[in-house]
DNA sequence: ATAGGGTTAG
């Protein structure tokens, strides 16, 4: 596929060339080999040695047949440390991983460097990361701390625990550090917000690679210094699809959509091919500022490139279409999706809500639960906001109460905001008030704002002042509070207070923000 | 026969 920008339109053309053996052909060949191995193994497992058992188990894991792998693992006559490590690499649930590790120790098998790098990696982003210091102690005891794989896993763990000293200790204990070790240090410093230290570490590195550079760029983006990120990005002598995508993502995160697209165009001009990460990011940009035409052009590029078969990308497309106003297109893609996960369902439910299709949103929710996909807290935010748009008080109440009972999802601030909004818009101000007063935490600006808006809508002075006080106490002074109170006072005929509110409003210098729109072609035309 | 560091969606 080749991409070019012609007359302001992103175009792609298919390049026909003799195909070498594709990766799918290779994996088919690999599968045949694996199947042959399986057949030999199945004929007489008893004659196979531990190495053969391990290979089979590894093959099954690589082909996502973890259950079968586990069965064979349990049947093995003799297990060695590789068997345990291989089995551990197949487990994604940290609890199972933990259990297997304990079992391994009970069986008298001594863990090695492979064990710890696998184990710790499986604990990252999970509650179990809390075990990292204990594992570190064990690693030191066994003398495995100088292994670069173990060290980088530990460094990521300490970074997640926000333990700067832990991070540095692990790094210092590695005798022969390689690029990855240094990169892990830069990532760690950046994640913990120490940009200066990260930069110093980067400057001290004996050798840097493209990953080091991208790490640095990403670090500055995470630390909200997009200009520094760009400056580093410009210094890169080599860029690949990952670094380009990171820069684009940085601009999208900072709502700088024009810059994001300009970087994308430079990327195409440099001859780097976008991948599904790049397209997801760009679709996110389209959703962010309603670039409908550009979004459709991207869809066309994705379609022609033949890459569109994966959940994340399709979900990005759905989100782009709903946020650009084309709910029909979104529903169409959603209907064709083979694998839907919680996020995909959430985006279609949210999309229906945004388009006022409250009943449809509720129906999609039913289908979601029927298909066995578990809803999460976002599902309920979207579902409840659909109820708000549709004025479906009873449905909203029912779901609000059942989310905890059926799925164990605790109602958070956002859910309460939706409910206050739902009651408020429907005129059930007594219920809205009751909910605000009985909430398990202090209401935030969103909750008070929803209540105040409801009071404005239904001319409820007493409660309106209560809500305005709540907002005031949060020191979130803004013109909308006074504008609402002004309206309420005005309806009562309390003109002196109307003037008072009016003055306060101008003091807080609240000017209504102007509505705006973007014409996507200008972005590209400007660039030419 | 086993392992690490940079980019994606609500």
Asked if the model's pLDDT at residue A362 lies above 60, the reply is: yes
Please report which confidence band the pLDDT of residue A424 belongs to, taking 50, 70 and 90 as the band edges. confident
Q: Among the residues of A408-510, which ranges form H helices? A: 413-426, 429-438, 445-457, 461-473, 479-492, 495-507
Which string of b and e fits A3-32 if b means at least 16 CB within 10 Å? bebeeeebebeeeeeeeeeeeeeeeeeeee
CATH number 2.60.40 given to A412-416+426-508: no
- Whether CB of A311 is under 7 Å from strand B: the answer is yes
Distance A354 CA to B6 C1' (A): 35
pLDDT digits (tens, 9 = 90+) for A429-439: 899 899 889 99
The protein footprint on chain B, as nucleotides within 7 A of a CB, is 1-10
Token reading at A451: 């209540």
Contact A403, A415 (CB under 8 A): yes
Residue A272 DSSP one-character state: P
- What is the distance between the alpha carbons of residues A392 and A514, in angstroms, rounded to a whole number? 31
**Closest residue (Cα, C1') to B5:** A180
- What is the distance between the alpha carbons of residues A518 and A508, in angstroms, rounded to a whole number? 29
- Whether CB of A147 is under 7 Å from strand B: the answer is yes
Please report which confidence band the pLDDT of residue A489 belongs to, taking 50, 70 and 90 as the band edges. low
**Closest residue (Cα, C1') to B7:** A242
pLDDT digits (tens, 9 = 90+) for A149-159: 999 999 999 99
Q: CB neighbours of A91 closer than 8 A, spacing ≥ 6?
A: A66, A97, A100, A122
Burial of residue A134 (number of CB atoms within 10 Å: 0-12, 13-18, 19+): exposed
Contact A348, A330 (CB under 8 A): yes
Contact A154, A132 (CB under 8 A): yes
- Whether CB of A208 is under 7 Å from strand B: the answer is no
Contact A362, A353 (CB under 8 A): no
**Closest residue (Cα, C1') to B8:** A277
Tokens 């600006």 — which residue?
A445
CA atoms within 13 A on the CB side of A55: 14
User: Which residue has better confidence, A1 or A460?
Assistant: A460
pLDDT digits (tens, 9 = 90+) for A201-254: 999 999 999 999 999 999 999 999 999 999 999 999 999 999 999 999 999 999
What ranges do the domains of chain A cover?
A: 412-416+426-508
- Whether CB of A236 is under 7 Å from strand B: the answer is no
A227-to-A110, A128, A256, A266, A443 alpha-carbon distances in Å = 49, 36, 11, 17, 36
Across the range A320-342, mean pLDDT stands at 96
Distance A409 CA to B10 C1' (A): 17
- Whether CB of A80 is under 7 Å from strand B: the answer is yes
């Amino acid at each position: 596929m080749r991409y070019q920008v012609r007359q302001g339109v992103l175009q792609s053309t298919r390049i026909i060339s003799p195909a070498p053996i594709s990766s799918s052909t290779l994996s088919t060949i690999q599968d045949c080999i694996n199947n042959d191995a399986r057949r030999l193994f199945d004929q007489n497992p008893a004659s196979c040695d531990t190495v053969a058992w391990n290979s089979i188990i590894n093959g099954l894991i690589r082909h996502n047949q973890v259950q079968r792998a586990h069965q064979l693992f349990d049947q093995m006559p003799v297990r060695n440390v590789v068997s345990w490590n291989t089995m551990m690499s197949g487990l994604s649930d940290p609890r199972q991983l933990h259990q297997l590790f304990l079992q391994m120790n009970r069986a008298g098998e001594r863990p090695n460097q492979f064990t710890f790098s696998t184990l710790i990696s499986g604990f990252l982003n999970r509650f179990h990361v809390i075990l990292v210091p204990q594992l570190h102690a064990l690693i030191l005891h066994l003398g495995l701390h100088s292994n670069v794989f173990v060290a980088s896993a530990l460094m990521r763990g300490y970074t997640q625990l926000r333990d700067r000293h832990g991070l540095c200790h692990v790094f210092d204990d590695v005798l022969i550090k390689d690029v990855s070790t240094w990169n892990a240090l830069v990532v760690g410093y950046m994640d913990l917000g120490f940009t200066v230290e990260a930069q110093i570490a980067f400057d001290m590195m004996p050798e840097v690679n493209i990953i080091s550079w991208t790490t640095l760029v990403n670090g500055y983006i995470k630390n909200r210094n997009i200009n520094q990120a760009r400056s580093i990005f410009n210094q890169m002598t080599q860029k690949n699809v990952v670094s380009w995508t990171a820069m684009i993502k940085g601009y999208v995160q900072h709502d700088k959509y024009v810059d994001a697209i300009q970087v994308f165009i430079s990327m195409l001009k440099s001859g780097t091919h976008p991948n599904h990460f790049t397209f997801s990011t760009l679709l996110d940009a389209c959703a962010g500022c309603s670039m409908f035409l550009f979004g459709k052009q991207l869809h066309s590029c994705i379609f022609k490139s033949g890459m569109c078969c994966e959940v994340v990308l399709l979900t990005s497309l759905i989100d782009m279409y709903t946020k650009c106003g084309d709910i029909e297109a979104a529903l169409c893609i959603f209907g064709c999706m083979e694998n839907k996960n919680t996020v995909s369902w959430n985006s279609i439910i949210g999309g229906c809500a945004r388009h006022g299709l409250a009943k449809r949103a509720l129906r999609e929710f039913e289908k979601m639960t029927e298909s066995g996909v578990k809803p999460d807290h976002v599902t309920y935010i979207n579902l409840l906001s659909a109820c708000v748009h549709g004025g479906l008080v009873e449905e909203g109440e029912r779901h609000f109460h059942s989310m905890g009972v059926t799925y164990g999802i605790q109602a958070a601030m956002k859910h309460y905001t939706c409910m206050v909004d739902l009651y408020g818009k429907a005129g059930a101000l007594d219920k809205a008030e009751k909910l605000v007063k009985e909430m398990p935490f202090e209401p935030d600006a969103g909750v008070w704002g929803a209540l105040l808006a409801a009071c404005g809508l239904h001319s409820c002075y007493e409660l309106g002042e209560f809500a305005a006080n709540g907002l005031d106490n949060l020191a979130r002074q803004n013109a909308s509070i006074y504008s609402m109170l002004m309206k309420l006072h005005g309806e009562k005929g309390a003109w002196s207070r109307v003037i008072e509110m009016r003055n306060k409003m101008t003091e807080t210098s609240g000017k209504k923000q102007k509505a705006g729109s973007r014409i996507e072609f200008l972005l590209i035309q400007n660039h030419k």
